[in-house]
Amino acid sequence: MFFKSVVSFAVLLAAQIAAAQSCSRTYTVQEGDTCDSISAANNASTYQVAVVNYGNVDPQCDNLTPGESICLGFAGEDCQTTYVVQLGDTCDDISSAYGVNTTILYMNNPQINEDCSNIYVGEVLCTACTVEVPPAPGGSPVPSVVQPPPTAVPANPSGDGGDDDDLPWCD
Ligand SMILES: *[C@@H]1O[C@H](CO)[C@@H](O)[C@H](O)[C@H]1NC(C)=O
Ligand SMILES: *[C@@H]1O[C@H](CO)[C@@H](O)[C@H](O)[C@H]1NC(C)=O
């Protein structure tokens, strides 16, 4: 299962690399905003906001300035189907709730680790049934693009174990 997932990941990732990268939505930062609060309020995932602002917003999002304009999504690669992680959530819960299989969930949210033990409360995940987010810029490793904020509270630190064979498919 793991190797199959890696292969489909590589194939589908290669297919989405050619896209144009113009910003389709912007947001003006307010006092007290965090990347995740902005993501949650605007249906833009944590990963997506980090990718589209790479080089401008730090991976831990500790350098937002009120008044600055940030991008929320690239045209044609803008996932607007999102879910805000709650305490106790697992990837299997989220997959089941949205009818999106874990392969697609991981491709849309490549910051999630293999056993899904690093999702955190308030993280915004793309739960679309197709791959909609842009790839990491220039093939950068995902941790150099996005990291949990220092205060992140793990949703489910032990992970959800593994068996994802019985998950429903996207409809
Ligand atoms: C975010 O998505 C929800 C659910 O589809 C929708 O009700 C809400 O209006 C959306 N918010 C924005 C800012 O697009
Ligand atoms: C999820 O769906 C994709 C596309 O239909 C498929 O290639 C993949 O094997 C599925 N993954 C799982 C875990 O069922």
Residue nearest to atom 7 of ligand 2 (CA): 8
Question: Residue 9: pLDDT above 70?
Answer: no
Q: Exposed, middle or buried, 6 (CB in 10 Å: 0-12/13-18/19+)?
A: exposed
Judge whether 156 and 89 are in contact, CB under 8 Å: yes
Residues flanking ligand 2, CB < 6 Å? 8, 101-104, 164
84-122 pLDDT, tens per residue?
999 999 999 999 999 999 999 999 999 999 999 999 999
Judge whether 57 and 50 are in contact, CB under 8 Å: yes
Residue nearest to atom 13 of ligand 1 (CA): 42
Judge whether 98 and 83 are in contact, CB under 8 Å: yes
Q: How much is the pLDDT for 139?
A: 86
Residues flanking ligand 1, CB < 6 Å? 42-43
Element (H, E) at 167: none
Question: Residue 128: pLDDT above 50?
Answer: yes
Question: Residue 126: pLDDT above 90?
Answer: yes
Percentage, residues of the chain above pLDDT 90: 77
64-84 pLDDT, tens per residue?
999 999 999 999 999 999 999
For the chain, what percentages of helix, strand and coil (3-state, to nearest 5) are there?
30, 15, 60
Judge whether 111 and 47 are in contact, CB under 8 Å: yes
